Amino acid sequence: MTDSWLLILIPIGIVLVIWAAVQFLVGSRRVAIGVLVTMVLVYMLGVCVMLFGAPLLAQLDPPADDLTAPSIGGGIFQAFVGIYAAGPAIVTALVLLAGYWVMAKLSRRAGRSAE
């Protein structure tokens, strides 16, 4: 992989997820959930752009005469690597969001049964 700068997405995503979990534990639930939802939505937007935009861009890209000429295909590969690199943080964010949702449902149910 020639563009290792994409690997920086892994620690950035993990730090954001950890920070959001700490914010949730401290009491800033809206901030934590907002950060996690934003991460997931941005990731989903990137995946949709790659799934639907990449084939179109690949068809529009004229074949390069030599191997050193820039092409859209290289950018498409880099975007796929970026989406793959951000995957662990997004899975963690989804698990945390599911946990927060379950906790909210359980606390509401416990509140109703106490009355």
Q: Where are the domains of the chain?
A: 7-61+72-114
Percentage of the chain lying above the pLDDT 90 cut: 0
CB neighbourhood size of 100 (10 A)? 17
Q: What's the pLDDT at 50? A: 73
- Note the pLDDT tens digit of each residue in 18-51: 788 788 777 777 777 787 888 888 887 777 777 7
- Note the pLDDT tens digit of each residue in 82-102: 777 777 778 877 888 888 888
Residue 39: which of 8, 4, 23, 15 has the closest Cα?
A: 15
